Each structure stands twice: as C-alpha cells, then as structure tokens.
Amino acid sequence: MNKQKMIIYIFLVFIIGVFGGLIININKDKKIDDNNKHEEIVSGYSFEMTDKNVINKEYDGTYLKSFVTIAEQQDEFIINLNGINSDSEVMIIDPNNGDMKCMDYENGVFTLKASLDNDITYGIIIDFKLSGSIRVVNDLNSVDKDKLFNEILIALGCGL
C-alpha cells in the first residue's frame, strides 16, 4: 500500500509541475504580446522587434538593452533611454550622411522625438561609444529576419 501511495504522490507532483510550467510559459508569452515586443539573441546581441512608436531602452553601463531595436515604420518615434548619467553626451547618428541628433535629458531620462527613415541602422552613441541601434522597416511580418539580422550585424561590425 505504501508503494501505491508513493506512486500516486509522485504522479500528482509531476502533473502539478507540468501544469504550473505551462501556465508560467503562457503568461510569459502573453506579456511579450501585450507589449508588442519580441526579443531574440543573435551572435551575442539582443534584438527587439516592436510595432510601437515609443522605444524604451535601459543602459547597463556599457550597452543598451536591447542592443538593436527593429521598429515598424511610424511617422514619428519617441526614444527614451534610462540609466544614463545626466552629464553624458547622448546622440543618434545616421550613418548614411553623418547627421547627429542630440538627445535631451528630462526627468532622469534621455529622450528624443524624431522621424526615422526605413532601412537605415541608426547608431545610439553614449559618450562617444556605440551603445545601441535602431532599425526601421516597413512591415515586421514581411521581414526576412535572418537576412535583416545579418545586415545589421555587418553594419555594427563596421561601426555603422
């Protein structure tokens, strides 16, 4: 009888564990969908895909998380960078023509409202160091992710 109770107990623990894991994973996926973001790690770089016009990034002292944001085309983007010292120089650079847009420090966050062109990998420079990037595409659903990620990594490897 003790052997039967032990088997039933192990079986119940297994079933509870499986259902608990499923519930946690479903909620995790739902959070990603609610924020309309999808994150991936490719060759050590974190890629985030979003269809929102507000881009929020956190600075860890070296790089922004996520390092690369791929955003669906919008008329205007609001870019917010958290965790950066107020005395830092923060700007976004267009590598095609060298134009630099300085970001303003407001309420503990570096922010910029800007129109970004398609198919350009904009660099985010913090104290003269490439710390992240943003790429705008026409439609997130029609993008060949492998090709796009490869293009972005080559641009970043060449310093934009």
Q: Where exactly are the structural domains of the chain?
A: 1-34, 37-157
d(CA 86, CA 155): 29
For 72-121, what is each residue's pLDDT tens digit? 999 999 999 999 999 999 999 998 888 999 999 999 999 999 999 998 88
Share above pLDDT 70 across residues of the chain, in percent, rounded to a whole number: 79
> Stretch 67-75: mean pLDDT, rounded?
92
Determine phi and psi for 118, rounding to 5 degrees. -70, 150
Q: Which fold has domain 37-157?
A: Immunoglobulin-like (2.60.40)
Give me the chain's average pLDDT, please. Answer: 81
Q: What is the pTM of this model?
A: 0.72
